[in-house]
Amino acid sequence: MDLRSLMRRRVLLSMLALHLGTVTGVAAQRTAPPAVRYDQHVPAGGQLPPAGTLRNPFKDSKRAADEGGKLFSAFNCDGCHAGGAVGAVGPSLADGRWRYGGSDGEIYHSIFYGRPRGMPAWGGTLPADAIWRLVSYLKSIEPSRDTAATTRW
Q: Give, in words, the CATH class of 55-153.
A: mainly alpha
Secondary structure of 76-122 in HEC code, one letter for each residue: CCHHHHCHHHCCCCCCCCCCCCCCCCCCHHHHHHHHHHCECCCECCC
Looking at residue 39, its pLDDT comes to 66
Crossing angle between the packed helical segments 128-140 and 104-113, to the nearest 10 degrees: 130
Q: What secondary structure letter does DSSP report for 88?
A: S
pLDDT tens string 26-75: 444 456 777 777 666 677 888 877 777 789 999 999 999 999 999 999 99
What percent of the chain shows pLDDT beyond 90? Answer: 51
Give pLDDT, residue 47: 80
Which residue from 38, 58, 81, 37 is spatially nearest to 139, judged by alpha carbons?
A: 58
Comparison of pLDDT for 149 and 143, the residue scoring more: 143
Gap between the Cα atoms of 88 and 58, Å rounded: 27
Q: What pTM did the predictor assign?
A: 0.71
Flag the least confident range among 23-37, 66-80, 95-109: 23-37
The mean pLDDT of 80-107, rounded to a whole number, is 92
Instruction: Supply the mean pLDDT for the chain.
Output: 81
Supply the pLDDT for residue 45.
Answer: 83
Give Cβ neighbours of residue 79 (< 8 Å, ≥ 6 apart).
89
* Amino acid making up residue 98: W
Task: Outline where DSSP puts E strands in the chain.
Answer: none
> What single-letter amino acid sits at 77?
C
